[in-house]
Amino acid sequence: MSQSFDARQLRETTAAESAPTPAQFRQAMLRHLQYTVGKSPQQASLFDWRMALSHTVRDYAVDPWFSATRRTWDEDRKRVYYLSMEFLIGRLLEDQAINLGLRDVMVQVLAEFGLSFDEVAEGEPDAALGNGGLGRLAACYLESMATMGCPAYGYGLRYEHGLFRQHFENGRQIETPENWLATDNPWDFTRPEAAYPVGFGGELHDHDGASIWSPRSKVLASAHDTPVVGYGGQWANTLRLWAAMPSADLFNLDRFNAGDFAAASEPEALARSLSRVLYPNDTTEGGKELRLSQEYFLTSASVQDILRRYLAAHDDLLKLPEFVAIQMNDTHPAIAGPELIRLLVDEHAVDFDTAVETATSVLGYTNHTLLPEALERWSVGLMRKVLPRHLQIIETLDTQFIALQGQAPNPVRLISNDQVSMGDLAFTTSHKVNGVSALHTELVSQELFPVHNELHPGRIVNITNGVTPRRWLKLANPSLAALITDTIGAGWESDLERLRELEPYAEDPAFRDAFGRSKRQAKEHFTGWLAAEHGIELPAEALYDAQVKRLHEYKRQLLNILWTIAHWQRIKRDPQANWVPRVKIFGGKAAPSYHMAKLIIQLINDVAEVVNNDPETRHLLRVVYPPNYGVSMAEKLIPAADLSEQISTAGMEASGTGNMKFALNGALTIGTLDGANVEIREHVGAENFFLFGLTTEQVGERRAQQGHSRAALEASQTLRDVLQAIAEGTFSPEDHHRYDGLLETMWNSDWFLVASDFEDYDRAQGEVADCYSDPEKWQRMAILNIARMGYFSSDRSIREYMSQIWDVESAL
């Protein structure tokens, strides 16, 4: 490249300016089909067409990607780095096409080739590099950062196998490996030049009072980039995923030559295992050493990359906070504090206290749960074995933290009971700590970090979660999106508060009818897919009542299925009554080792088997549980739902984001005062929300009452009848004892207060049915829900992160 070359001569156009005509798009696609895929239109399979199409769309993403990257360098902008062990991005083709303004032209050109977009797109695997809410939030935030013109990188791991696939055998969950990289991933740009060694284990040596760490082994982190384009195609950021590569010295050629092939490759295989599988547990850890090593692998590679990029343009590391903000998504990357301190001290000769101050100013920590089993604690022994230098740094930080607490008799410690508390570590090394809903943040301050909070008033802030309206409305629900655009004009996609303009239309019969038609279309789309994919036929004329999310006792799928049984029993007692036909939809995976969650899945499937085959009730009640719930299923299911079940035990769900997606698509919520439900209800209006259940405070009181479960059961004949039916083997005729353990828990402990909340839930479900029998009323409520959900756009959340935590400006 000659010195006089001006990079600005490269295409500086944004997507909107360079929107192709159908003829241009068609030509570009044919070129890719021929030269990238190596096929002619006559020979091309659906896979080939998808590859050609994806490469064509991707080309349009590259221009804004280049220009955003270049502007960030030229203007020396502060960048945000979002470190997350999970990115649940789902499919990218349609998402990128929408953001680049290419969806219509793409659909049209495919039709000219005799192809339907849905058919072509259905082959794209879901990038399921996450478990649930935390990973999906990271994906929404990446998209919103790009939309808001916030210069940012997402950093994660390129798991070869994402979240396991789920299917059912005799109602039981069976897990099989997921294989999203089995075929080419067209969104992946391999960057072999961006590779960093990450060390593990080994020894510490003292050298002139300084610690020198000699790791026992090193693994290379090699970068794979995906452009993430914002809505309107004005800006694009990078999702950089690290793949583990054994460094050459790990392969023992002598051994290999001596014929010991397996032993020669063993260290190599071990190295590769770092990016092999996503941990399918989102509450408990297994395989501790591997998990800790994965977390360090992600963190170290990312922090090294961040410093390399910073030092390419600056030389004063103390100014890092002016140009770099690093966000830790939960405690998983919480080793970032000690790692940044280590690099500053050991490799750049910064003194320890200054390094701590610098790291703390750069770092932020988002807490996503209060569940003790998900707040990571690593044993000191394991830490010493894997990360001896980091343990030493944490010990110093611990000493400093204790000193800060003065004469406190029982100071909070970063290391206690021979364990490192990653939550406390993340707090002390961050300048801001945020919870993910107003209630959750209150509990984070009062229950989880009261001492930290007192020592650092103002450090804790709340940023209520949000979801991207591009994927969760425009992409997922094209008929509703079109109705909204026809009614209030375009632009709401990136200015979601504008949905308020729909409010007056709640009183307009024509609009309500149109809304009803769009809901019906969404139902048909979902049921069409369900029939084709799973052979499940559903009636269109029914209340679609959905609970889709990870299986967990606190989320109380059990409450839902127990009520379903009660409902079935009532219909059977009085089949001629005026019942509202209902379809109960469940979806979600249980952690493979979570016995109770798997038993609940089995119960749901067992109940489905009996209820769906009951000729007396079939037309009034169905229970469906399509297997392998994920982002792509959610895109079809959520728009079809009438009722959204957000029924966790109060105080236990940090926020929830599914609750937001449903309400935004015009489902009404039946829910407790938990997580973001509280704020959703405030926004949509209490009269447009079916509230039930104990409050967080009452939950605490109830749990303290001896024998509360038995007392609640004794007060509910309905629930006793349900448990009786289960105990008699009504749903497990071949094994009457299958649910003994579950019933025992219900009678004797019931930590999640299923029995305590049952009667009130039953009352609220009665209100739901009454309300649904009055379509005009229901539609009015649903429309008001949509109109008032603007606040829950992830664009709003990101704006708050930018101003309250990252101190970064939009480049747009």
Q: Which residues bind to ligand C3B, rule: CB under 6 A?
A: 131-134, 137, 282, 330, 368-369, 374, 436, 465, 653-657, 675
- Are 61 and 143 in contact by the 8 Å Cβ rule? The answer is no
- Are 546 and 583 in contact by the 8 Å Cβ rule? The answer is no
Catalytic hit among 158, 523, 549, 683:
549
Pick between residue 659 and residue 765 the one whose CB is nearest to ligand C3B.
Answer: 659
Question: How far apart (Å, rounded) are the C-alpha atoms in residues 590 and 797?
Answer: 29
CB of 799 to ligand C3B, least distance (A): 17
CB of 86 to ligand C3B, least distance (A): 8
CB of 664 to ligand C3B, least distance (A): 15
Residue 791 CA to its chain's centroid (Å): 19
Residue 143: helix, strand or coil by DSSP?
Answer: helix
Does residue 550 carry a catalytic annotation? yes
Pick between residue 462 and residue 564 the one whose CB is nearest to ligand C3B.
Answer: 462
According to DSSP, the residues that pair with 623 across neighbouring strands are: 584
CB of 372 to ligand C3B, least distance (A): 12
Could you tell me whether strands 127-129 and 87-90 are parallel, antiparallel, or unpaired per DSSP bridges?
Answer: antiparallel
Pick between residue 467 and residue 483 the one whose CB is nearest to ligand C3B.
Answer: 467
Catalytic hit among 55, 240, 332, 368:
368
Closest CA to 619 of 671, 546, 678, 541: 541
Pick between residue 436 and residue 475 the one whose CB is nearest to ligand C3B.
Answer: 436
CB of 677 to ligand C3B, least distance (A): 10
Catalytic hit among 26, 136, 224, 555:
555
Kindly provide the residue ranges of all beta strands, DSSP E only, lying in 386-506, ordered along the sequence.
415-416, 419-421, 432-435, 460-462
- How crowded is residue 296: how many other Cβ atoms within 10 Å of its Cβ? 22
Pick between residue 278 and residue 654 the one whose CB is nearest to ligand C3B.
Answer: 654
Transcribe 295-334 into DSSP letters: HHHHHHHHHHHHHHHHHTT---GGGHHHHEEEEEESSTTT
Does residue 661 carry a catalytic annotation? yes
Catalytic hit among 661, 681, 780, 788:
661
- Burial classification of residue 8, based on how many CB atoms lie within 10 Å of its CB (0-12 exposed, 13-18 middle, 19 or more buried): exposed
Instruction: Give the nearest residue (CB) to ligand C3B.
Output: 133
Q: For the sheet containing 621-624, what is the strand order?
A: 621-624, 582-587, 543-548, 643-646, 668-671, 690-691
Residue 642 CA to its chain's centroid (Å): 23
Does residue 657 carry a catalytic annotation? yes
Does residue 13 carry a catalytic annotation? no
CB of 78 to ligand C3B, least distance (A): 24
Closest CA to 52 of 29, 20, 24: 29
- Burial classification of residue 760, based on how many CB atoms lie within 10 Å of its CB (0-12 exposed, 13-18 middle, 19 or more buried): middle
Pick between residue 374 and residue 805 the one whose CB is nearest to ligand C3B.
Answer: 374
Pick between residue 99 and residue 657 the one whose CB is nearest to ligand C3B.
Answer: 657
Pick between residue 350 and residue 654 the one whose CB is nearest to ligand C3B.
Answer: 654
Alpha helical stretches, state H, 650-739: 658-664, 677-684, 696-704, 708-714, 717-727
Residue 526 belongs to what H/E stretch?
helix 509-534
CB of 366 to ligand C3B, least distance (A): 7
Amino acid letter for position 90 = G
Catalytic hit among 657, 669, 696, 745:
657
103: left (phi over 0), alpha (psi -120 to 50) or beta: alpha
Catalytic hit among 55, 550, 567, 622:
550
Pick between residue 606 and residue 679 the one whose CB is nearest to ligand C3B.
Answer: 679
CB of 409 to ligand C3B, least distance (A): 32
Name the one residue in this structure whose structure tokens are 């809304």: 515
CB of 675 to ligand C3B, least distance (A): 5
* Active site positions, annotated: 368, 549-550, 555, 657, 661
